[in-house]
Structure 1
Amino acid sequence: MTRRAMSLLPQWSSRVFSVELDGAPSYFSIQGKHRGEEEPRPFREAQIPGRCFSLLVCSSDRVRRAKFYWELKEKLMRDLPPQCDVSPMSSFLPNVKDSLIKGYFLKDHSESSSQSERILRDLMQRDPVLVCSYLRSGDSQLWTQHLWSNGDRETMEMSQGYYVVPSEAPEYHPSTLNIINSDVFYSFDEAYEVMKQCGDIIPEAKPVLELLPSRAESRSKPDFPVIVIEGLDATGKTTLTESLRDTLRAALLRSPPQCLSPSRARFDREPPLIRRAFFALGNYITAEQMGQEGMKTPVIVDRFWHSTAAYAIATAVSGPVCNLPAEGSEVYRWPSDLLQPSLVVLLTLDPEERKRRLRNRNQGETKEEQELDQNQLFRLKVEEAYRRISGPACITVDASPSADQVLQQVLLLIRGKCHL
């Protein structure tokens, strides 16, 4: 058992466990005595003599932990018997930052769980995982959790097991405990450190590091205004930004910047920690360009930090919009060392009209853009996260009128806010 796993044991009985079912978390906890509580939802429909298991990834190296967790599901789906269901899960201490550990919950419906147990034992002997089995008492609905140690089913300090009981939803969605400088980065140094750690395992990381400014500073705003245009794909950002460039004789920049294009496809396949660090560093490269161009002319930017943060938050937080961090949460604050634009315009569009425009474009979409089309809830979370980001906040503009009407409306905003 790893040192990281060992450190969890003194607080083990205080932890809450979350299993993703139908796109939303379901919670349970453990206790020494059973007081007649009902069977937690993750254990319902488990066949007799079915077994349930959990494994949590506990490596102290956050980059390797993220990579291992990202690749583990594919390994489990390939090696486990087909009668075994696999769901994402996590364990956390309620309201304690950085206490979240990710893993998977297994519900084995096969007649014998020996194949699943062998695979989990092999994992424990080679990899940084903490494994538990869940046993049902006869044909009752009482389940007990048993922590594995030394690669077998002997438990450590828990020989009698803990009863598994339902737990109320915590005040904050568990993923928000680890969101800062993990799903969303708030400083150049934090994102740089992740990319630096990737150097040994991702060849494309080193060229990215070479493109970065020597350091990021919270600098005074350039002489000319910087206007960022945000919005989902097909809301008219490209048309508007090019029209603004021509009308205002401005410089036009995009985030992530063109210099990162050769690496983007690789980092789009990486786990969230690494992918988000890549896009965060792209913002700092764009910020340096904004500062340089803004000394000579107005600057128009096609997407910036709002997009990076909104997509990351919406992806990290499962379930309904109400699970997002509350308005005013620190997760919506602007990074202190990132240049702030003078104005941020968020283009919005009716979902059906946006889909129609996407079909007409017939262009390839990112995985997250495909999810926007297929998952209305994800789209709503992205849009709400956009609206909650502050410093500066977005000003919403309806993108359904003609391109010229949208341009005139945005020009009015720029003249009013930026005095151009």
Structure 2
Amino acid sequence: MLPRGLLPLLPPRSLSAMAAPPTGSSARSRLCFAVEGAGGSDLVCFTLGGSGEGPARDPEDDGRPRPRCFLPAPGRCYSLCLPAAASSVPAARLHRRLQQRLSGGQGPFGRCQVLALLSYRADGAQAAPEKGFLIQDPQGGPETERALEELLRAQGELAQLPPPALGVYEAGERGELWQCLWALRRAGGRELLRRARVLAAEEPPLHPAVPGLSHAAVFHSLEAARSVLKQCMSLIPEAKAVLDLVDKCPKNSKKGDFPVIVIEGLDATGKTTVTHSVKDSLNALLLRSPPACISQWRKTFDDEPTLIRRAFYALGNYIVASEIAKASTESPVIVDRFWHSTAAYAVATEISGKVHNLPPVHHEVYQWPEDLLKPDLVLLLTVSPEERIRRLQGRGLEKTEEETKLEANSLFRQKVEESYKRMENPGCQEVDASPSKEEVLRTVLHLIKKQCGSL
């Protein structure tokens, strides 16, 4: 018996586009899928051919290799995708709940490997990828499929959304791979939507998640972030409190005559020491992002999916901007993290794999929002990974999920740092924070004087 395998799930509206294997220009618009390997490995990409029957069968498909992301017998794989809805809070929360349940180690899922799955258009026309999961069951027992059906029905109902379709792959008589797509009914039972040939595909020039960054991770306007939290008001009580604070802030805040200097960097690069030293040296006011008025809700929003979490931190930047505008009329202002930090962590989190998967230099995602107060100077403190680990030991501070990931994953740290360095308008000026605090302070003050003049 040849193995059955994974099925990337598509919403019913996508089926008409896959009725037959595309040719010519339509081949470039194929719907493709990318499986994100564990530990930052490369993407495995594939697409869909026809049914293999009659005129829908493409002879060229027979020469394509089988995609290398399926378990051998007796293993079995499944997959699911949520329809692309970058601004849909219910869909984002459903994705998060499914991720937690699938990775929670309960029942048959405890033996499964869960990998991220993205769907995208080969020609890049799709604004944002559909997100989902590839579930690899090494034992291939039928209880995993039953558990998946029950989970999808229950979670879809909880989110007031149709249950995501469930996909299963099956091997054909000649070893080819077939996709079977099942629509689940809430009351029970399921309907086969289609069966299609699975074909290997080349990795796209840009990571499939890149087109969706500006819609669901890196917000470039106050209104874009505000609209997300507005959807959350009936689900997260704290969302209304945040919006009330935002709405009290002046729109398009402008800075005063005194300079505004932002200090950025990973944890344990010396930001606290440098910001306080510069504050004292310049007789400046020190501000932080997120601001104190919303910091009490960080834990609440850190537990939410990326879409909501990023909107919360983006709005925090706009609140800080109103504080900067007022303070910079009276004295220099030092800001401990600002928009660059929010954007760099978002990019590094959303883009899997290695540093080369990041959006290219000068991509729009690295551009400062037009409606956010712009600082005079942004300094990025850096230290070696070894020095960071030494400084972190014994701190005992409560860490966010991303800060914990930063310590454990050197690849993630590299992506955060590289994202920082690609920020533009304004860009970050890098400062080696490894020397003594006195030497680092002299370097920072020299750069401030050079950029901002005498204070």
Instruction: Give the TM-score taking structure 2 as reference length.
Output: 0.85
Corresponding residue number in structure 2 for 1:27: 45
Q: How does 1:70-149 map to 2 (within 5 A)?
A: 70-77=96-103, 78-94=106-122, 95-113=124-142, 115-117=144-146, 119-120=148-149, 123-124=152-153, 126=157, 127-138=162-173, 140-149=174-183
Corresponding residue number in structure 1 for 2:66: 39
Shift of 1:225: 0.6
Shift of 1:227: 0.3
Shift of 1:256: 0.5
Corresponding residue number in structure 2 for 1:155: 192
Q: How does 1:261-280 map to 2 (within 5 A)?
A: 261-280=295-314
Partners of 1:37 and 1:165 within 8 A in 2: yes
Match status 1:69 vs 2:95: yes
Q: Indicate which of 387, 392, 397 corresponds to 1:353.
A: 387
* Alignment size in residue pairs: 411
Task: Return 5+ residue gaps in structure 1 as ranges.
Answer: none
Match status 1:326 vs 2:360: yes
CA distance in 1 between partners of 2:236 and 2:109 (Å): 32
Alpha-carbon spacing, 1:146–1:204, altered in 2? closer, same or farther (3 Å): same
Between 1:293-302 and 1:213-222, the stretch displaced more is: 213-222
Q: Indicate which of 327, 330, 343 corresponds to 2:377.
A: 343
CA distance in 1 between partners of 2:140 and 2:326 (Å): 67
CA distance in 2 between partners of 1:274 and 1:305 (Å): 16
Amino acid in structure 2 at the alignment position of 1:408: R
Amino acid in structure 1 at the alignment position of 2:92: A
CA distance in 1 between partners of 2:245 and 2:82 (Å): 33
Partners of 1:55 and 1:132 within 8 A in 2: yes
Partners of 1:80 and 1:119 within 8 A in 2: no
Match status 1:57 vs 2:82: yes
Alpha-carbon spacing, 1:211–1:219, altered in 2? closer, same or farther (3 Å): closer
Shift of 1:119: 3.3
CA distance in 2 between partners of 1:358 and 1:37 (Å): 50
1:222-269 deviation line (CA, Å, top 9, x unaligned): 211100000111111111111111111111100000111210111111
Corresponding residue number in structure 1 for 2:230: 196
Q: How does 1:247-396 map to 2 (within 5 A)?
A: 247-396=281-430
Partners of 1:54 and 1:105 within 8 A in 2: yes
Partners of 1:256 and 1:286 within 8 A in 2: yes
Q: Secondary structure at the match of 1:168?
A: coil
CA distance in 2 between partners of 1:110 and 1:38 (Å): 25
1:11-31 deviation line (CA, Å, top 9, x unaligned): 346211111222342111111
CA distance in 2 between partners of 1:346 and 1:115 (Å): 48
Amino acid in structure 1 at the alignment position of 2:237: P
CA distance in 2 between partners of 1:118 and 1:371 (Å): 30
Alpha-carbon spacing, 1:402–1:6, altered in 2? closer, same or farther (3 Å): same
Q: What do you get for the CA RMSD once the two structures are aligned?
A: 2.1
Amino acid in structure 2 at the alignment position of 1:91: S
Partners of 1:216 and 1:284 within 8 A in 2: no
Partners of 1:80 and 1:116 within 8 A in 2: no
Amino acid in structure 2 at the alignment position of 1:206: K
Q: Secondary structure at the match of 1:149?
A: strand
CA distance in 2 between partners of 1:81 and 1:399 (Å): 45
Task: Return 5+ residue gaps in structure 2 as ranges.
Answer: 1-9, 20-29, 51-57
Instruction: Give the TM-score taking structure 1 as reference length.
Output: 0.92
Query: Percent of pairs identical after alignment?
Result: 43
Amino acid in structure 2 at the alignment position of 1:47: A
Corresponding residue number in structure 2 for 1:5: 11
